Chain A
Amino acid sequence: MLRIDNLSAGYDRLEVLHAVSFSVERDAPTVMLGANGAGKTTLCRVITGLIPARDGGIFLDGANITRLDPSDRVKRGVALVPEGRQVFPDMTVRENLRLGAYVHGEPGPAEFDAVFAMFPILAERQNQRAGLLSGGEQQMLALARALMSRPRLLLLDEPSQGLAPKAVALVAETVNRIAAMGVAILLVEQNLILAEAVARHVVVLETGTCVADGSASEMLVSGAVEDSYLGKKRRH
């Protein structure tokens, strides 16, 4: 579905990702683990086209999208729920959702109904300014907004950040529902509780390099991942 092939990228003179390779399949939601500064957010930005790749390639269902601009990638079904949610704070919930569907024109009532069925809280708040929502509600809005673009591949950059455990559980449940709809998932996380709830496939990124890649059952159960790569103990 998504194949990352020897991808390098960075900012100015600083190279953050060094020849990263891995792939994401539709039936195996993938979690990328890595400590702060490992290059997880940079990876999300390169895949969506916010920063250019220096070397290597990004392939979506075999098509090379490495040089496409962000708008064309969205049209092909790449959506990102960015770090810190990044909703449009001075716009209403409904306007945020309209923007999610921007590349497809004005969304119809059926499209709104579909996301409101999945996120009832957003239906209640649809005419409120997004900036007034709680952190958990904003995360739901960011997810709903990404869904409005009819993604085939959904990237999520640390959606658990700043959320209460209950809200994290809701995010996990939602991501699993989206995966069940046939959307390929790449979740970038430090939170092992969320990672475990979602992952079938795990990739570990350390200082811009892929250092481990395997099925969730072999990588997460051993507990080796957090000891060696995240530098912290599992929290229960």
Chain B
Amino acid sequence: MMLELLPQQLANGLALGSTYALVALGLTLIFGVLLIPNFAHGEFYMLGAFITYALVASGLNFWLAMTTAVVLVVLIGWIVDRVVFQPVAAAPGHGSGLSLMISALAGSIILQQLATIIWGTEARTIPAPMTGMVRTSLFTITYLQITIIATLAVAWTAVWLVLHRSRLGLAIRATSQNRDAALLMGIRTTRVRLATFALGAALGAVAGALLGATFPIYPSMGVNPVLKAFVVLVIGGIGSLPGAIVGGLVLGMVEVMVAGYGSSQFQDIGTFLILVAVLLIRPQGLFGRAQVER
């Protein structure tokens, strides 16, 4: 039954899943290292899209615009951390997950409102930086989709290299595994914090710019992807980077399959069925490690 459509669905799922994975990668990094459930991550993504849009509209080349957007969003991410999260973490009786979550939601709403004041609520589109597609006998895939998948591969490699081949990465991993022990090693957590936020925000901005060239953009566009990214985190294993990638791709595939072979109304049901299944069978997530005390 419609089996001839399968390769096409897989290609679409891979492209969609890659954007989920990009969003989830930034989110899992910030959560894994700093324990911040950063709902404002969706707004990094939204701002990545809007800043790219604004710069392209003023005549800049898409790739230059995206790069500038990444830099600006990193800066915004730094401000959000300074204004929203650091005061909460430093307060007495500090940094309970709940107060950080509420702060994150507040940050998210403020950024959305700011975008609404600047750009209004109507949906816009970024002119696609490239047109054309590859046609094979089994499926067609646009150059833009290929670019998104390739970007995920490049982003993942870059993050992996930073984490596993640099001293900063060693410090980031140490902090994520045991914050107090990292302090005892003489690691300055402010630096780790800055780097983590910058990496996470940059990943969000890239995802936003690329998706904004495919789908309409609007100030609340980040809300849904960030919720999905949290689902991806749970599926892949919280704090696990490979988990974010695989979880994102699985989620993209499932959504496309459910929409293609069932109905797009059931898309979210598919998502949450997967979530429940993972929670029942492997509660620590596909790549998560069960906590063992020795």
Contact = CB atoms under 8 A, between A and B. Distances in A.
B187 A102 contact: yes
The CB with the most chain B CB atoms within 10 A, among A12, A74, A86, A88, is that of A88
B183 interface: yes
A138 interface: yes
Contact of A103 (B180, B186, B289): B186
Contacts of B180: 50, 82, 86
Nearest to A73: B186
A74 B186 contact: yes
A88 B178 contact: yes
Interface in B126-182: 167, 170-171, 173-174, 177-178, 180-182
Interface stretch (A59-67, A91-99, A171-179, A210-218): A91-99
A103 B181 CA distance: 14
Contact of A99 (B93, B170, B289, B292): B170
B104 to A, nearest CB: 24
Instruction: Please indicate which of the listed interface residues A70, A80, A134 has the most CB atoms of chain B within 10 Å of its own CB.
Output: A70
Given A82-B180, A149-B185, A90 B170 contact: no
Nearest to A134: B294
Interface size class of B (residues with CB under 8 A): 20 to 34
B92 interface: yes
A75 interface: yes
A95 B181 CA distance: 13
A142 to B, nearest CB: 9
A92 to B, nearest CB: 11
A13 to B, nearest CB: 9
A133 B292 CA distance: 12
Given A12-B93, A86-B181, A75 B186 contact: yes
A95 B170 contact: yes
A43 to B, nearest CB: 15
Chain B CB within 10 Å — which of A99, A103, A131 has the most?
Answer: A99
A106 interface: yes
21 contacts: A48-B183, A48-B184, A69-B188, A70-B186, A71-B183, A74-B185, A74-B186, A82-B180, A86-B180, A88-B173, A90-B289, A91-B177, A99-B185, A100-B185, A102-B167, A102-B171, A103-B186, A106-B167, A135-B294, A138-B294, A149-B186
